[in-house]
Structure 1
């Protein structure tokens, strides 16, 4: 009985730690958004956001990333219900959606670089790459984390430990998706029409 209570306390401690981490990340991203919005009009000799940004592929990558928010939610529900096969497949699908988003964002950055839109071309481009790139690093970390979770589920199956890890991860992933909604809205949509 004592170990079970301790285990539940550990689970709650991990969730609380993740909430503290997310709070710190909110401050970081708020600062990056502030820098971007301040420097958005400082284009020097470079392109403006309206000239540079392309919505078609970014909209598709947005759909992929937001779909991964649904799949990780469903994955957690399946895990809570003890459905190992469904949990594993939904986590794998989330992994693939996150990886696809990263590939599309990499292609976007390469495309901009090939057009001469480099990080040091203007304050706007520096702040754009810093904000979007920082988010991309968070997605990359999440994809690596999912890879580790897939291994844990394959080795240990559904147990309190793996379900707890998945629950903590889902908080992180939903935060990453929420940040992308803000980036897509403020950087891409507003950047094209604003």
Structure 2
């Protein structure tokens, strides 16, 4: 039976070229795997190893936060008072809802429900977009205009503590790193949607959807920690 390399399809393995079944039904594990289950386990292990590095990254960020806050607690209390809890809470709700939609996407990939798989991928993408727009329009832009910036760029004239620029350095650094992960996640969901349109996912082939879903859950969990640490200090 003729086969084509899956490299051009954005995954590893082979599919039969003259088979009219959906992609995920035709898919065969790459030659260096024993079977689909072996490939799935290997991919999942790789995803977890990558997520472990992400946990280390954010752990370092939280340690830095703890050290700076212990050194200058008043600066963090004053700086946090300028943050609008309502916008932070709204973004928390948005990401929690996106955790549900991405979990639903994984489930629909496992059961082969192509319509709802695509719908939930789109909903998760839109949730990420909503998060970024809220952050940019209602939080980042006003603070940039007011001069609530990190370090030597701080120019807000009504600061109550000389160390407030340190708080804003932590705020911009932590939320900026998190926002960059949201952007990466949106790119991954766009990639998943393109593949889902081609019926690449189904009961026997959904590891990409699950891997991206795990990544997105990490992004959500990090924000759940950032919200109280930054917005609820006072």
TM-score (norm 2): 0.74
CA contact (8 A) 1:76 1:163 kept: yes
More deviation, 149-158/139-148: 149-158
Structural RMSD (CA): 2.2
Distance 2:143 2:64 in 1: 20
CA contact (8 A) 1:65 1:98 kept: yes
Q: 1:154 to 1:161 in 2, by over 3 A?
A: farther
Distance 1:164 1:145 in 2: 13
Give ranges in structure 2 of 5+ residues lacking alignment. 1-27, 155-164
Cα displacement (A) at 1:12: 1.4
1:12 equivalent in structure 2 = 41
Once the two structures are superposed, residues 149-188 of structure 1 have per-residue CA deviations (whole angstroms, 9 ceiling, x without a partner) of 1011112343368611001111111111111111112222
1:100 equivalent in structure 2 = 130
2:112 corresponds to 1:69: no
Distance 1:44 1:128 in 2: 15
Distance 1:103 1:141 in 2: 15
Which residue, out of 205, 211, 215, partners 1:168? 211
Q: 1:162 to 1:94 in 2, by over 3 A?
A: farther
* Secondary structure of the corresponding residue to residue 147 of structure 1: helix
Cα displacement (A) at 1:9: 1.8
TM-score (norm 1): 0.88
CA contact (8 A) 1:152 1:162 kept: no
2:183 corresponds to 1:143: no
CA contact (8 A) 2:110 2:203 kept: no
Question: Going by fraction, where is helix more abundant, 1 or 2?
Answer: 1
Aligned residues: 189
Which structure exhibits the higher relative contact order, with contacts defined as CA atoms closer than 8 Å and separated by 6 or more residues? 1
Cα displacement (A) at 1:102: 1.1
* Secondary structure of the corresponding residue to residue 48 of structure 1: helix
CA contact (8 A) 2:101 2:123 kept: yes
Distance 1:55 1:162 in 2: 42
Which residue, out of 114, 119, 125, partners 2:145? 114
Which has the larger Rg? 2
2:156 corresponds to 1:126: no
